[in-house]
Amino acid sequence: MKGDYQDLVDEISALLGAPATLENRDFRLIAFGAHDSDDDLAMDPVRTRSILTRQSTADVRSWFEGFGIARATGPVRIPAAPEAGVFRGRICLPVRYRGIVQGYVWLLDQEPGLPGPGPAALDAAMEVAQRIGVLLAEEAKAGADLSREFLAVLTAGRGWQQDMAVAALRVALGAGGDGLHAAVCVTPWPGEAPASVPGAAAVCVVPRRVGSGPGSAVPGTGAGAGPGPDTAGEPALAVLLRLRSTDALTPALAAVARLLPRAAEATGTDGKGAGAKAAGGGAGAPAVTAATAAARGVTAGVADPVRGLAELPAAWEQAVAAARAAAAQPRLGPVAQWSAIGPYRMLASLAADPVDDPSARTLLTPANRELARTAEVFLDCAGQAGRAAAALGIHRQTLYYRLGRVEQLTGLDLDEGEDRLLLHMALKAARLT
């Protein structure tokens, strides 16, 4: 497929006499034509960064989209803007399929006063762009069509069932099945899987779980099914991202973040479904961002990259754990990587059910919320009273009084390491539930 894109980009470059670049709808580079000019203006900072990092920044994307390229059906000329790093004007050819934008072909326009491509050449280039649109749409559809095989891998029981599911997905993915992938969990996810996700090899929706502990069955998958999205039983969107290298995970996170507003808008402004959306998210409502989506309880987790689909079930568990950690600890989100969630890597697997340790039971009631927070901050500060008091904004004597109350309620001795460990784990695990 990569070679097909390159051939079509080269064809447009030849038609218009200028090197072209092809980006998907999220401004990630797919292919680019050769640059044989010694003119520094032929490679301004925006184009250079796009080719070297294979993506454009959010500011660059917003600036170009301001010219209406996402709605255009024909070539769009964009003037130079040196202050934005765009030293030469651009010609943008929207790549569409059945009216839906799939990406953009970019060319450097001629300098002012020089003749640019004529209407006939631009029409011919748009015909090539339409062929690119077909390829991009087919690639996205192929990923969506693998939802059954992908879901089977994530929900099959251990043993021969899982082995068969992995083998079926590997066959469906073809040569790309042995490449580098990362699993992503977005939860909650209402409705069906999106028609396409940039950079995805497969997408599916993992349904609501019946039970609440590890190994709870997913409807339709039988009793030894794998873990569902989270303890609340919410459905989740699962995405299998293709990666060229482990370094490619960082730009992929931006595409993941753009999924969160879609989930939040479909769920509604208070997480109670379409009715809530109608009540609070009508015309004129502010746009939903990844941050506001997280505030509504929509988060995403990204597993460590794996090579080989046999590791995919374990990677999915990592992604679920990271999504739960992002919901429990806002500083980790709204998109959390499993490698960066610290103690939640262990706690997410241990706290599959609500925490009910006898020593922490009373402390974790709503009436003692402030005492629980005091204890958590104190333990986060490694038991250093000065740091904890400063973080809480209270006097040190007030801190000692509260910690004394914590010991009374829990029966634990905060001078003992194991008691501290038990309380710290209980407080962190309670966040997950």
pTM over the 0.75 mark:
no
* Residue closest to 322 by CA, chosen among 306, 305, 307, 339: 339
* Residue closest to 16 by CA, chosen among 94, 116, 87, 132: 116
Residues 29 and 92: their CA atoms lie apart, in Å, by 14
Sheet hosting strand 90-97, strand order edge to edge: 29-32, 20-24, 100-108, 90-97, 76-78
Which part of the chain has CATH 1.10.10.2840?
Answer: 366-432
Dihedral angle computed from the Cα positions of residues 233, 150, 332 and 209, in that order, rounded to the nearest 10 degrees: 10
Q: Residue with structure tokens 């070539």?
A: 75
What pLDDT does 124 receive? 95
DSSP string, 300-329: EEEPPPEESGGGHHHHHHHHHHHHHHHHH-
Q: What is the chain's pLDDT, residue by residue, as a tens digit (433 residues)?
A: 455 888 999 999 999 988 899 998 878 788 877 655 554 445 555 665 555 555 566 777 788 888 999 889 999 998 887 776 677 888 999 999 888 888 999 998 876 667 778 899 999 999 999 999 998 887 766 655 788 889 999 988 778 888 888 888 888 887 778 889 999 999 999 878 876 677 888 899 998 643 333 333 333 333 333 334 443 467 899 999 988 777 777 777 777 888 888 777 665 544 444 333 322 333 333 456 777 777 778 899 999 999 888 899 999 999 999 998 898 888 888 899 999 998 888 887 665 555 577 888 899 899 999 999 999 999 999 999 999 999 999 999 999 999 999 999 999 999 999 899 889 988 888 877 7
* Class of CATH domain 2-140: alpha beta
Residue 157 tokens read as: 């029981």
Residues 272 and 266: their CA atoms lie apart, in Å, by 10
DSSP bridge partners of 86: 81
Q: Which residues contact 314 (CB under 8 A, 6 or more apart)?
A: 306
What pLDDT does 409 receive? 93
Q: Quick check: helix, strand or coil at residue 217?
A: coil
Q: Give the number of other Cβ atoms within 10 Å of residue 416's Cβ.
A: 10
Which part of the chain has CATH 3.30.450.40?
Answer: 2-140
Q: Give the number of other Cβ atoms within 10 Å of residue 404's Cβ.
A: 11
DSSP bridge partners of 243: 180
At residue 282, φ and ψ (nearest 5 deg) are: -80, -165
* Class of CATH domain 366-432: mainly alpha
- Distance of CA 132 to CAs 93, 98, 246, 255, 381, Å? 11, 12, 28, 21, 55
The CB-side HSE value for 76 (13 A sphere, CA atoms) comes to 18
What pLDDT does 276 receive? 36
At residue 153, φ and ψ (nearest 5 deg) are: -65, -40
Q: What is the length of the chain?
A: 433
